[in-house]
Amino acid sequence: MAAGRKMRVAILISGRGSNMVALLEAARDPAYPAEIALVLSNRPDAAGLARAAEAGIPTQIIDHTAYPDRASFDAALDAELRAASVELVCLAGFMRILTPGFVAGWAGRMLNIHPSLLPLFKGTHTHRQALDAGVRLHGCTVHFVVPELDAGPIVAQAAIPVRQGDDPDSLADRVIVQERRLYPAVLALVAGARARLEGDRVVIAEPAPEGVLFSL
């Protein structure tokens, strides 16, 4: 990417959008390598839409209930993203399974954040899953999206200790803090071409220091 040109990013949400807000805030820095061109929700009632609009970001609703099947919804989504000249898609609490065809069209150009240390605890209720498994470390992962749910090359992870007395809510409260740090950092790496896909692995320009819980 030419120096100074920002990568055009769309953020896809379904709900509260606190990761989205973290990305919007990071992208306000003139030196940040990405600009948020569009926030798109599949749910008209997603609270994050108002927060994006307040920040002056174009928003779009594509209500999945108005489409007969996943393929037609994904086709509409794809058309919107392309019409907005989007180069990279960030899923941020986007609660729809995407078709393999859509994912293939955005291969290497779509990121997701998941509230666990993948490949542990895919799917939903990740904090409950972590407690049930008795792990001492939990956290979040940003990865490239592949057709398989919550799989795909991992860019970076952030971890938190699991404490005595933790419940799913207390874990969620601490993991989301790390999510809001991790996602903007990862988007900066990917948009700034400091993280790139090599086959099914991500190569990052700068090595992570030893022994840190927050690791890029």
d(C-alpha 159, C-alpha 147), whole Å: 25
Stretch that binds ligand GRF, among 16-24, 32-40, 55-63, 160-168 (CB under 6 A): 16-24
Closest CA to 216 of 164, 181, 167: 181
Under rule CB under 6 A, which residues in 173-202 are in contact with ligand GRF? 176, 179
Respond yes or no: is residue 114 known to be catalytic.
yes
Judged by CB under 6 A, which of 6, 9, 17, 90 binds ligand GRF?
17
Crossing angle of helices 126-133 and 168-191, rounded to 10°: 110
Under rule CB under 6 A, which residues in 30-89 are in contact with ligand GRF? none
Structure token digits, residue 169: 């809510």
115 binds ligand GRF (CB under 6 A): yes
15 binds ligand GRF (CB under 6 A): yes
Options 114, 127, 138, 143, the catalytic residue: 114
In the complex, least distance from residue 85 CB atom to ligand GRF, rounded to whole angstroms: 24
The answer to whether residues 41 and 53 touch, using CB atoms and an 8 Å cutoff, is no
Stretch that binds ligand GRF, among 8-16, 34-42, 129-137, 159-167 (CB under 6 A): 8-16
Give the helix ranges, DSSP H, for the chain: 18-27, 47-54, 70-83, 100-105, 126-133, 168-191
Closest CA to 157 of 133, 173, 136, 181: 181
Judged by CB under 6 A, which of 11, 23, 89, 92 binds ligand GRF?
92
Structure token digits, residue 75: 């086709």
130 binds ligand GRF (CB under 6 A): no
d(C-alpha 127, C-alpha 118), whole Å: 12
Catalytic residues: 114
Give the binding site for ligand GRF (CB under 6 A). Answer: 13, 15-20, 92-93, 113-115, 176, 179
